Amino acid sequence: MSEAGGALGCGSPVPQRAPWNLVAAATALYLVSATSVWTAGATPMNREEKQKLGNQVLEMFDHAYGNYMEHAYPADELMPLTCRGRVRGQEPSRGDVDDALGKFSLTLIDSLDTLVVLNKTKEFEDAVRKVLRDVNLDNDVVVSVFETNIRVLGGLLGGHSLAIMLKEKGEYMQWYKDELLQMAKQLGYKLLPAFNTTSGLPYPRINLKFGIRKPEARTGTETDTCTACAGTLILEFAALSRFTGATIFEEYARKALDFLWEKRQRSSNLVGVTINIHTGDWVRKDSGVGAGIDSYYEYLLKAYVLLGDDSFLERFNTHYDAIMRYISQPPLLLDVHIHKPMLNARTWMDALLAFFPGLQVLKGDIRPAIETHEMLYQVIKKHNFLPEAFTTDFRVHWAQHPLRPEFAESTYFLYKATGDPYYLEVGKTLIENLNKYARVPCGFAAMKDVRTGSHEDRMDSFFLAEMFKYLYLLFADKEDIIFDIEDYIFTTEAHLLPLWLSTTNQRVSKKNTTSEYTELDDSNFDWTCPNTQILFPNDPLYAQSIREPLKNVVDKSCPRGIIRVEESFRSGAKPPLRARDFMATNPEHLEILKKMGVSLIHLKDGRVQLVQHAIQAASSIDAEDGLRFMQEMIELSSQQQKEQQLPPRAVQIVSHPFFGRVVLTAGPAQFGLDLSKHKETRGFVASSKPYNGCSELTNPEAVMGKIALIQRGQCMFAEKARNIQNAGAIGGIVIDDNEGSSSDTAPLFQMAGDGKDTDDIKIPMLFLFSKEGSIILDAIREYEEVEVLLSDKAKDRDPEMENEEQPSSENDSQNQSAEQIISISQAVDLVDQEAPEESSLSSHSDSSPADTDNAASISPAEQTLNPMENQEPTSLDGECTDLDNQPQEQSETEEDSNPNVSWGKKVQPIDSILADWNEDIEAFEMMEKDEL
C-alpha cells in the first residue's frame, strides 16, 4: 500500500480523491506528454475543426434525444423507423433484449448525465424534473438485474452526482434535495431480493413490483446467470452505499464478486461465460473479454480506482495476466476454454470486446490496446460499423449492429492516452458513418445488417448514455466541459461517479484474500499509474509504429491458422486443408482427407457425409489436422446455415423526406430478377388492385412503370409476380398480411416459386413483414409520391440521393456481400455427432422442394463447401507471423500440469484430442445457441 502513494507521481494529486486515481492521473499525464510529442507526428486537428465536430455531435444528440422526447417519452425507448415509443407488451417480444425495459422511461434516465457533459444544463434540470414527476419504479414488469443496475441505477446515480455538482456551483439545480438519490435507493432495495441465493450471486431477473419467487413475480426459477451480470454491480452498489450510508448494497455486490473470484478456474485464472447461481458450477466454460464477461473485468479495475481497495486490483491483475497469456493474440482477442486455455473456443469475435482497448488504457497497457483498436477500426472501415460478430478472417458472422458505443469508448481513451490525432480522425469517421447510414428522420436506427445497410426499428438507450458522451469528450477541450471530468469514473454505461466516494462512508468490511492470489511477476502489481516516459520512450511515432504493421490486417484477411500453413511449407509438408477451401470434386483434397482419417460418404439422399476416424489417420499430426478440419467444417456449416436463414435484401425509401435514410430489411424471392447479381431497381410505388394481386390487375395504369405493392396471401407469390408484371410493374413488394409481424422478431425467408418454371418472371420481387411494409404504406398516405430502391445493399445516401455512382470502397463491400449471398445456396449441415472414436459431419444441398434453382444446380458431385471461392488464396506474408505467438507464451506451470495443450508445438495424444473434441462440440453447440 505504501507504494500506492507512487501514483501521485504520475498525476496531479487532489487530496479528496483516491490517491491512486488511475483515470484522472493516467489520462492527465498522457495528455501532457502526448500533446507536445504528437505535434511532430501525425497532422494535428486544429481547434476549429475539433469544435466543428463537437458541434456536430451536439446536433446529433439533439436529433436523437429530441425525437425520443417528442415521439416516445415516457416510453422506455424510441422506435426510430415508426417514430413512436417502444412500450413493453405492446410490441412483439424480442426476448432477452426487452428485459432492459421496465416502463421507467429508460432512455431519459440513461441520458441524464450525458446532458450535463454536453453542456445542456437547462435541459438536464428539465429532465430531472420529469424523472421525479413521471417515473414509477414499482411496475409489475420482470427486468434484468444487470441492465437495471447499469442503466437505471447508474443513470440515477450519475444524474445525482452531477446534480449536486451543479448545485454546489450555485447556478443550476438549486432546488435539488437528493431526490434522484432517493429514487436510486428505492430501486436498490427493489433489486436486493435478487441476491437471495446461497452463493450470493444474483438471479438474472426480478419483478420490480413483486420481487422474486412469489407466484406474481413470474421469475426466480432461473439457475444460471452470466459472469458480467453477477459481476457488474460494485460501482453502482458501492456508490449507493457511500452516498446514502446504507452499507448493505456494497456488501451484496462485494459478496457476489468474492464468489466469482473463488470460482475462477484455478489453473488458468479465467472465468466462464455463465455460472450456476446455486452451485457455482460453470455452465459455459468458454472465456473471452466480450459478451457475458466484459464488464466483470472492467469493474474489478474500476472498483479499485473508485474504492481504493487493493484486493480488486490484485484480482484484476491476476485475470489480466491470464487474458494476456491466453485470450490476447494481438491484434485478436479470442475466446478459449477455461480448462484448456491454449485451445480457442471460437473462430469469431463479438463487438462487445471493443471496450477492452479502453480498459487496457486504464491499466496502462497501451501497445495491445493500440493493436486491437486498429484491427477493429479496419473492420469498421470495411463494413461501416462493427458487426455484432466477425470471424478471425474478418468476415461478418452476425451482421447486426445496434449502435454500440464500445469502439467510441476505446477511441476516446486511446486519444486521452496518446494524444495522437489519428484517434480524432477515427472519431470523425464514426460520426460520418452514423449520419450517413444510421440517421433516419426520427432519430438513429440500429443496423439490422451492416452488409445491406438495412435498419431495425430500435434505438437503444445506451446510444444516448454512452456514444454521444464519448464522441463529445473526444473533441472537447477542458474548457468545453463545465466540470472536471477527471474527478469522475465512468461506469460501464458511461455514468459518472465522483472519485471522492473513495473516502466517504467506508464502513463495509473488506475481505482480506491477499494470500489466495497466484504469484505473478512484479510488473503485474504496479500500484502506480503507468509511466508515459516508458510507454512512449521519446518516440513521437510510438502509436503509429504499432499500427503500421497492422495496416492491412483486415484486407489481407490473415487468419491465425495460416501460421501453421507457413510452418508446414517450411518443413516441406503439404499445407493442411482448410474447410473453406475444400471441394468434394477435387481428387487432391480427397487424398488429403484420407490422410487425415476423414472419409467422405455419398448418402443415398444426395447428402455428403464426412466422418473422421482419428486412428485411421496417417500420423498423429494428420489426425490433429483432421480434427481441426472437422472443427472448421462445423463452424463453416453453422455460419452458412445462419446466412441461409437470413439472405437479406434492402428496400430503401429514397424520396423526400427520407432521401435513402430509411432502409428496410426485405426477403428475396427464388424467382424473378436476382438483385444480388443485377443492378438495383428504382421506382415509385403503387398499390395493386386487387391488393392481393391474385388476379389480373384492375389498375394497370397505376402500376405501369412502378413498383407494385401487393399483400401476401390467397395465392402463390409467383402468381402475384406474374399479375403485376403483366400490368407493367417494374418490380414488386409483397407485404405480409400478418399484422404486427416484423423482421425484428421473425426470421426472414425467401419467397418460393410455384414449383413450375418461373423463368418468365423477369422483375425483382421482395418481401416485407407487416411492420416494415406499413412504413411504406404510411409514407404513401403522408407524401403520396414515394420512391424506393430495391437492392441487395443500401446505396450511398447523400441528402439529395443525387449520386447514383458508388464510391469504390462501397462497391468492394457490395461485391463482397454479393459473394456471401451467393454462397448461401451452398450449405452443409451437421447431422451427427459420433461416439468419442469418430466425429462425423454431413453436407448436403439444402434445398426446399420449391427451391428448384438451387436444387438443380447443386448436385452433391458438383458441390463446393467454399463460401470464399472467389477469394485469393490466403497470403503467407510475414505480416501474419506475429499472430500466432501463443505457444511461446505458454507458462511453465501450464506445460507442467497439462503437457497436451498446445497446437503446433507438441503432438497431442489421440485420446486426449478426442476428449477435447467432444467437449468442443458441446461448447460450439452451446455457443451457437447463445446470444450476445
Could you tell me whether strands 396-398 and 336-337 are parallel, antiparallel, or unpaired per DSSP bridges? unpaired
Q: Cα 194–197–200 angle (5° rounding)?
A: 85
Compute the least distance from the CB of residue 151 to ligand DMJ, in Å. 6
Torsion over CA: 456, 402, 188, 240 (sign): negative
Conformational region of residue 673, where left means phi above 0, alpha means psi within -120 to 50, and beta covers everything else:
beta
For ligand DMJ, the closer CB: 159 or 731:
159
Q: How far is CA 99 from CA 148, 193, 224, 483, 789, in A?
A: 9, 17, 16, 34, 35
Compute the least distance from the CB of residue 298 to ligand DMJ, in Å. 7
Catalytic residue among 99, 251, 298, 406: 406
Q: Which of 462, 472, 658, 924 binds ligand DMJ (CB under 6 A)?
A: 462
Helix axes of 154-169 and 234-244: crossing angle, nearest 10 degrees = 40
Compute the least distance from the CB of residue 462 to ligand DMJ, in Å. 4
Active site (annotated) includes residue 406? yes
Catalytic residue among 286, 374, 388, 635: 388
428, 53 Cβ separation under 8 angstroms: yes
For ligand DMJ, the closer CB: 147 or 736:
147
Q: How far is CA 578 from CA 82, 149, 241, 611, 838, in A?
A: 45, 45, 55, 16, 19
Q: Could you check whether the bond before residue 657 is cis, i.e. omega within 30 degrees of 0?
A: yes
For ligand DMJ, the closer CB: 702 or 932:
932
Compute the least distance from the CB of residue 787 to ligand DMJ, in Å. 35
Q: Which of 274, 311, 392, 492 binds ligand DMJ (CB under 6 A)?
A: 492
User: Which residue from 630, 628, 668 is spatially nearest to 865, judged by alpha carbons?
Assistant: 630
Give me the DSSP letters along 629-667.
HHHHHHHHHHHHHHHHH---EEEEE-STTTTT-EEEEEB
What is the Cα–Cα distance from 602 to 860, expressed in whole angstroms? 8
For ligand DMJ, the closer CB: 236 or 487:
236
For ligand DMJ, the closer CB: 469 or 712:
469
Under the binding rule (CB under 6 A), the answer on residue 295 touching ligand DMJ is yes
For ligand DMJ, the closer CB: 405 or 753:
405
For ligand DMJ, the closer CB: 251 or 294:
294
Q: Which of 339, 404, 682, 720 binds ligand DMJ (CB under 6 A)?
A: 404
455538482: which residue's cell?
Answer: 165
Within its chain, how far is the Cα of 374 from the centroid? Answer: 16
Nearby residues of 271 by Cβ (< 8 Å), 6 or more positions away: 227, 260, 263, 264, 265, 282, 287, 293, 296, 319, 338
For ligand DMJ, the closer CB: 490 or 536:
490
The window from 134-142, 402-410, 552-560, 832-840 that contacts ligand DMJ (CB under 6 A) reads 402-410
Q: Where are the beta strands (DSSP E) in 288-350?
A: 328-329, 332-333, 336-337, 348-350
Compute the least distance from the CB of residue 405 to ligand DMJ, in Å. 6
Compute the least distance from the CB of residue 492 to ligand DMJ, in Å. 4
For ligand DMJ, the closer CB: 25 or 354:
354
Compute the least distance from the CB of residue 146 to ligand DMJ, in Å. 8
Query: How many residues form the binding site for ligand DMJ (CB under 6 A)?
Result: 9
- The 3-state DSSP composition of the chain as helix, strand, coil percent (nearest 5) reads 45, 15, 40
Compute the least distance from the CB of residue 51 to ligand DMJ, in Å. 28
What is the Cα–Cα distance from 443 to 459, expressed in whole angstroms? 8
For ligand DMJ, the closer CB: 444 or 658:
444
795, 649 Cβ separation under 8 angstroms: no
Q: In the chain, how many H helices and how many E strands? A: 31, 31
Binding mask 135-154 for ligand DMJ (x = CB under 6 A): ---------------x----
Under the binding rule (CB under 6 A), the answer on residue 469 touching ligand DMJ is no
Alpha helices (runs of H) in 525-661, residue ranges in sequence order: 532-535, 542-547, 562-570, 587-595, 620-645
Catalytic residue among 98, 224, 236, 294: 294
What is the Cα–Cα distance from 351 to 291, expressed in whole angstroms? 8
What is the Cα–Cα distance from 794 to 750, expressed in whole angstroms? 19
Q: Cell numbers of 381, please?
A: 472501415
Under the binding rule (CB under 6 A), the answer on residue 350 touching ligand DMJ is no
Binding to ligand DMJ (CB under 6 A): which residues in 811-850? none
What is the Cα–Cα distance from 266 to 898, expressed in whole angstroms? 13
The window from 1-9, 398-406, 788-796, 809-817 that contacts ligand DMJ (CB under 6 A) reads 398-406
Compute the least distance from the CB of residue 380 to ligand DMJ, in Å. 15
The window from 366-374, 376-384, 401-409, 582-590 that contacts ligand DMJ (CB under 6 A) reads 401-409
Under the binding rule (CB under 6 A), the answer on residue 493 touching ligand DMJ is yes
Compute the least distance from the CB of residue 76 to ligand DMJ, in Å. 14
Largest CA distance in the chain: 88
Catalytic residue among 113, 123, 147, 250: 147
Confirm whether residue 745 is marked as ligand binding: no
Within its chain, how far is the Cα of 550 from the centroid? Answer: 22
For ligand DMJ, the closer CB: 406 or 581:
406
Exposure string of 869-887, with b = 16+ CB inside 10 Å and e = fewer, is eeeeebeeeeebebbbebe
For ligand DMJ, the closer CB: 486 or 493:
493
Instruction: Compute the half-sphere exposure of residue 370: CA atoms within 13 Å on the CB side of its CA.
Output: 25
Tell me phi and psi for residue 611, to 5 degrees: -130, 135
Q: Cell numbers of 460, please?
A: 437503444
Binding to ligand DMJ (CB under 6 A): which residues in 695-724? none
The window from 27-35, 216-224, 400-408, 868-876 that contacts ligand DMJ (CB under 6 A) reads 400-408
Nearby residues of 700 by Cβ (< 8 Å), 6 or more positions away: 726, 727, 728
Q: Where are the beta strands (DSSP E) in 189-278?
A: 205-207, 224-226, 274-276
Give, rounded to a whole angstrom, the gap between the first and last alpha carbons of the chain.
39
Conformational region of residue 83, where left means phi above 0, alpha means psi within -120 to 50, and beta covers everything else:
left
Active site (annotated) includes residue 388? yes
Q: Cell numbers of 443, please?
A: 432519430
Compute the least distance from the CB of residue 509 to ligand DMJ, in Å. 28
Under the binding rule (CB under 6 A), the answer on residue 410 touching ligand DMJ is no
Compute the least distance from the CB of residue 299 to ligand DMJ, in Å. 9
The window from 363-371, 404-412, 419-427, 710-718 that contacts ligand DMJ (CB under 6 A) reads 404-412
Active site (annotated) includes residue 432? no
Binding residues for Ca(2+): 492
For binding to ligand DMJ (CB under 6 A), which residues are involved? 150, 295, 352, 404-406, 462, 492-493
Binding residues: 492
Give catalytic residue positions: 147, 294, 388, 406
